[in-house]
Structure 1
Amino acid sequence: MNLHEYQGKEILKSYGVPIQEGVVVDSLDKAEEAAKKLSADTGTEWYVVKAQIHAGGRGKGTVEETGSKGVVLAKGLGEVKNTVDGILGKHLVTLQTNGVGKKVNKVLIAEDAYAPDFDACSEFYMSVLLNRGTGRNIIMYSTEGGMNIEEVAEKTPHLIFKEEIDPKVGLQGFQCRKIAFNLGLTGTAMKNMTKFVAKLYAAYVGADASMFEINPVLKTGDDRIIAVDSKVTLDDSALFRHPGFEDLRDTSEEDPTEVEAKAAGLNYVNLDGNVGCMVNGAGLAMSTMDIIKLSGGEPANFLDVGGTADAERVAKAFNIILKDPNVKGILVNIFGGIVRCDRVANGVVQAYKSIGNINVPIIVRLQGTNAVEAKEIIDNSGLNVYSAITLQDAADRVKELIVD
């Protein structure tokens, strides 16, 4: 689950990580009052207005309707309202959005953390995530923080450092000091960075996150270390341990079809292919996607219907898959262990009839309990539904009916 910047900063702050303070608003009328409150709390005289969307590159992005950037400095209270008006409610296009961009429903009015001595500030990059190859957490960091970090990774990868943490022992003090040293810090700044790293890692572990990315981490002119931005992804599988985190989900930022599937209890991920998949079990789903690719097609989605595949559930799955205009056919590949294959076959037939006009071929492979009976039901349905027995049969059907 992805979070907005202001939400990620709230988690960071709860673990003692120093952050760039700010106030989030969702209407123009609240902008000036929020800026006044921020000024009273922090003493800031300039403000940074930041679009809150689930996409990176906001500082380089452009608001379609006004030409504004997604991150803008307002030099004084008098500029705040106009600056917010140029972003809020508009569509921001970045390198991580499509051409339409994402609508900005909220903006963060933040303090100018670089004042009063901009030239004495330094920007760093830092992230914490799992290295799946080693099974260890890793801290990635660089002296070259800021908006051009992608170019740093591409052109000067030697400027990106990595520190792996053994989860059995956790982050050690010498590792925090090593990170601060590699960032070229000394004295008070080094001590503050060491504390910052330790607290950032504690937030990552404590929140059951998949990733914490801070870009930039700012060293101020007086050697404070502050998280100026935050990009946070939480592990959906661990949300049960954090009841309040589910309330942070912003469904307006997610794929509407995926939101609908989640509400229906279906595990669905939208992809870019032309063959829809309906499978029970994640492992079988991955195998089915491989079959589709080997047959010359491309999977249009990942959809796991789980252990129940009755007519209502199958109909919901069909409807969700068919929302994708790129789908040229559907492959149903279900193993009947918990649920009998003949029941699934009847569910497919009933779902097909209830939906009505389905103008793409459906290939059904059912193996397990009562598989023979299931094949007879499919073959005798009189519908645009084709049965398959083996994985090779399914692949051949995909090639014949969809790819060719």
Structure 2
Amino acid sequence: MNDPLFPRWLEQIKAVGGCSHPVYLSGSTTTRNAVTGEVISSYSTATEPGERLAVRCRNRRASVCAPCSRLHAGDTFHLVRAGLSGGKSVPDAVRERPRLFVTLTAPSFGPVHRATGNGGPCRPRRDAPVCEHGRPLGCGRAHAEDDCQVGRPLCADCYDYADQVLWHAHAGRLWDRFTTAVRRHIASAGGLPRSRLGEYLVVAFAKVAEFQRRAAVHFHAVVRLDGPDGPGSAPATWATEELLLDAVCHAVASSFVTPPESDAYGTERLGWGAQYDARPIRSFADDDALPDDAVAAYVAKYVSKSAAETAAGLDYRVTGLDDIHAAVVSDHVRAVMGTCWRLGGLAELEHLRLRTWAHSLGYRGHILTKSRRYSTTYAALRADRADHLRGDTEAVDGPDVVTESAWRYVGSGHTPGAAQLAAGIAEDLAQARESAREAMADWGREL
């Protein structure tokens, strides 16, 4: 290109990692000495291409923006790992705390086809029974993991779609009831009232939501016991790993929420599924425990998956039944979204905003949540990365320093030609990272 500002545009796109849908801002920032009025530093987009600056879209889904999703997954890994191994302002002493990796599932809403890695039948039945709609209640086929039938109901008319949507809509409250029940059980075991538990220990956690092939959400969580002063202090000696395991088991069985009464469904209470798992976390793996890094990597890989990869609905909101009918999803996922839309029209469920969240099958929670003192935050990780990229040796901060900023949104996305260039930049950066990773692996083997 002959545009003299084209090299600077390339620098911007490289700086945002080849982001697929960058956000453009226009404005300026000036840092002054409040006493003398001296300008310490200043920046303005007046000399930038188009008088604007590109920043990352920060979308976590790989289907929307692969470069930003990769960065988000990396941040998630470090956020979870810091709460397990220390670092990022978290003391290394967290390795010595009672820690569990817990998986909580949704209950059954009806039999679905399942993958059979051993080559056996999906749902063998000797007498070949049928449901009230005349469909078989068994399946003699052997499904591979990538079989499109996996996760779909044996009979869609028997499947309780209303229950699934209600469960998704109340999953956040159910998790809150679960953590409360864990704390209550631990306090009871220590002979304490629930209100005094904070004097002896704190229950910290980080959880990620994952959609199963049956389009039902379930949670993977790291649960850790700290002392009353947070991760730098030890919990009471009677708060052991065994006690935490008992508390989780008790909380799974006793936690439930009650949905609003309605003639549109018969659900009276919503609880966890019968299948759950709780395993200790160790610095090094053994027969019954999981290693720190493996847990962090397992959690991180799910935050960047697209809705299509995990039967989680759509990556965008829908505005009506026409959008749902036109969506490129399975009939099963379409039925869940349609149920969201139908139930969302009920006055007694208006507060759940099911139509707003129909694209995510009624689930309204964030993909990852954590307790305040579990570890660092995404904002802190982004700030550290920005400081590193700027190469700051001394932070410009203090009582005598004043920063004035004025920014406004001016657009987003690429033109078709720019999108191809950005994709090429993103691919080059990905290949460079892979080459560096291989070089580090070879160097490690040589040692």
For the aligned pair, the TM-score class normalised by the smaller chain equals: under 0.3
Q: When the two structures are superposed, what TM-score results if normalisation uses the length of structure 2?
A: 0.22
Q: When the two structures are superposed, what TM-score results if normalisation uses the length of structure 1?
A: 0.24
